[in-house]
Amino acid sequence: MEFRYLGVSDLKVSVVGLGTWQFSESWGVTNYEDAKKIVEKAIDVGINLFDTAAVYGRGMSETFLGRALKELGAREDVIVATKLPGEFLSRHDVFKGTKRCLERLGTDYIDLMQVHWPPLWNNFPTCEYMRALEELVHQGVIRYIGLSDFPVELMDSAWACLSTEDPVSNQVRYNLVERDAEKEIIPYAEANGWSILAWSPLAKGALTGKYTPDNLPEFKDVRAGSALFHPDNFRQVYEVVKLLREVGERHGKTPGQVALNWLIMASDTIVVIPGAKTPEQVEENVGAADWRMTFDEWLALEEASSKVRISNVVW
């Protein structure tokens, strides 16, 4: 497994991590034993980065992940990244929310605490929650601070609030057909030594090749009504999938593995955190690391995906 440092920290994380939003009603892995098998497989195949959040299944994801790591005796060997939602960012709620995360995860420290999204409705000053997080680092309760879904202006101002710590990462949407993070966020990360945790790196499964324009299910999960799978958008996505398949055939790889490999190649700051609903999917996803497509193949995908224009105006 390839590893990359998380920002300026001493944490070496597998370049393919595991996203665990899937442990929730939103995605459907709501049976603990199923979740445990996914976590166990991830550890077996060399993943050491596990991404969760307080809001995933209202605590279900953290509870399942923490319990599985404890039962597998793996807590000390892995890096647990969780998140506080934008609504939990008053000073007292940063402390209370973190305490709840610790209880659900069954641990006394969190490796990476991320601000899930900036406060939108609550008017919390940026420095109020950043300073509270920094105090938690001083207490030894969290090891590093990360952001999620922050634009560069707020990355900058959030960082300026800290006196002893540096944020190590911003977690943002990044996949071959939704590449807006390349415009400002990834260059900022490169210039300032941050990592980018790429969420929805498989475009919620759209890049795996198992969905086709003629075989688009009526999703009953979080993807119901999703712009990515709207026929006008998905027709374009599918052109990229065809090329992913072609490239993959030359390397003995699946379209999803090629899609993740392309992201890993795009910038040294990138770590991908695909979600998985089965151990088999985890095993397949780690096959995105430890190889490289050729520059010509990379460029063909660059050009094909640049033509895709996902529109969110679908109603």
Q: Does the annotation mark 56 as catalytic?
A: yes
C-beta of residue 131 within 8 angstroms of C-beta of residue 139: no
Site string for ligand NAP, 217-256 (x = CB under 6 A): ---------------------------------------x
209, amino acid identity: G
Sheet holding 18-19, edge to edge: 18-19, 49-51, 79-84, 110-115, 142-148, 169-173, 195-199, 270-272
Among 39, 45, 51, 136, binds ligand NAP (CB under 6 A): 51
Among 22, 126, 170, 233, binds ligand NAP (CB under 6 A): 22
C-beta of 205 vs 248, nearer to ligand NAP: 205
Smallest separation, CB 219 to ligand NAP (Å): 8
Reduced to 3 states (helix: H, G, I; strand: E, B; else coil), residue 165 is coil
Does residue number 305 form part of the binding site for ligand NAP (CB under 6 A)?
no
C-beta of residue 179 within 8 angstroms of C-beta of residue 207: no
Give the DSSP letter of residue 286: H
C-beta of 16 vs 132, nearer to ligand NAP: 16
Residues 109-168 that bind ligand NAP (CB under 6 A): 116, 148-149
* Interface stretch with ligand NAP, choices 68-76, 187-195, 197-205, 294-302 (CB under 6 A): 197-205
C-beta of 165 vs 287, nearer to ligand NAP: 287
Among 66, 167, 275, 279, binds ligand NAP (CB under 6 A): 275
User: How open is the CA angle 222-224-225, to the nearest 5 degrees?
Assistant: 120
Residue 143, φ and ψ in degrees, nearest 5? -95, -40
Does residue number 170 form part of the binding site for ligand NAP (CB under 6 A)?
no
Does residue number 21 form part of the binding site for ligand NAP (CB under 6 A)?
yes
Residue 145, φ and ψ in degrees, nearest 5? -110, 135
| Sign of the alpha-carbon torsion through 6, 12, 15, 16 | negative
Environment class of residue 38 by beta-carbon count within 10 Å: exposed (0-12), middle (13-18) or buried (19+)?
buried
Does residue number 82 form part of the binding site for ligand NAP (CB under 6 A)?
no
5, 32, 56, 144: the catalytic one is 56
Could you give the residue numbers annotated as active site? Answer: 56
Where do contacts with ligand NAP occur on this chain (CB under 6 A)?
19-22, 27, 51, 116, 148-149, 171, 199-205, 208, 210, 256, 273-277, 281, 284-285
